[in-house]
């Protein structure tokens, strides 16, 4: 007999920091477990932009370009902070 339980959690994002960091060797050295986008679970590639999402129900999480674009286009209530230059 197989039993499968699925838990669904809803998260409310209220702000994003666009172009927060680059996914590169220094970032991987400091944050070795952070390799994927929190929303779509896609892997980051070298030199990809990392955007920071601020959520009410959890810690701040990293996001990919695709998910950031989706948030900006479809959720005007989410505040976007623009960074002048990547670190």
pLDDT tens digits, 19-74: 999 999 999 999 999 999 999 999 999 999 999 999 998 999 999 999 999 999 99
Tell me if residue 71 falls in helix, strand or coil.
Answer: helix
Structure tokens at 67: 């998910």
The tokens 């129900």 sit on which residue? 57
Tell me if residue 49 falls in helix, strand or coil.
Answer: strand
pTM of the complete model beyond 0.85: no
Comparing CA positions, the residue from 47, 45, 54 lying closest to residue 17 is 54
């Amino acid at each position: 007999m197989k039993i499968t339980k699925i838990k669904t959690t809803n998260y409310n994002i209220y702000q994003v920091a666009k172009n927060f960091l680059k996914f590169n060797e220094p970032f991987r050295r400091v944050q070795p477990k952070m390799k994927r986008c929190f929303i779509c679970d896609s892997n980051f590639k070298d030199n990809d932009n990392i955007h920071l999402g601020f959520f009410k129900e959890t810690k701040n999480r990293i996001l990919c370009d695709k998910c950031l674009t989706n948030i900006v286009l479809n959720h005007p209530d989410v505040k976007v902070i623009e960074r002048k230059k990547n670190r």
